[in-house]
Amino acid sequence: MDSFFGFLRIPSLYDLGVMLPGIVVGLTIHEFSHALVATSLGDDTPRREGRLTLSPLSHIDPVGFLLLLIAGFGWAKPVPVNPYNFRGEPRNGMALVALAGPLSNFVLAFIIVLFLAFGGINLPYAWEIGITAVAINVSLGVFNLLPVFPLDGEKIFNRFFSYEIRKFMVSYGQAILLLLLFTGAISFVLQPITRFILNFYFALFKLLAG
């Protein structure tokens, strides 16, 4: 599941044009990164399932994608992974695979900032599309680091949880996540973190663009 803390609304054609590149590329890179790291650790499941690709069609879930556009939260197709194929301890491998997704969104946002700073801003609509893509990808990265099942953060921090907490998360994690989303609590917690990271990227842009 992914989110950029939006609100239920029907986007205009302009909104779609500005938002779509950031969402499509962000989701695709996120899921591809999961597949790439899992494959590098010895699990060929993502390759066999056709997920070791940069084709958006292989990663985007239609319903989850639509919800991202109109409600600000949704999901892509989870990458199938068998941690028992990993070299080394399975939970360590799963933590690395999970971390690759959010990290890829932060790296993508950084690359977009570099592109804008070094001349890309002069292209038509580049600023609107680029800055929206940065905001979307930072939000996706921060959201997915929440240590709540089924998000990446739960897999990253799983090894630090007791058996009872892990069992509770699998049973009730999705309900907890939906509760946080629909009450707005998740925005209250994550928006300050997202804003801090975005301010860092904007400061970097100003520094590089002169």
Q: Give me the catalytic one of 31, 49, 128, 154.
A: 31
* 31 in active site: yes
Q: 3-state SS string over the chain?
A: CEECCCCCCCCCHHHHHHHHHHHHHHHHHHHHHHHHHHHHCCCCHHHHCCCCCCCHHHHCCHHHHHHHHHHCEECCCCCCCCHHHCCCCHHHHHHHHHHHHHHHHHHHHHHHHHHHHCCHHHCCCHHHHHHHHHHHHHHHHHHHCCCCCCCHHHHHHHHHCCHHHHHHHHHHHHHHHHHHHHHCHHHHHHHHHHHHHHHHHHHHHHHHHC
- Catalytic residue list: 31
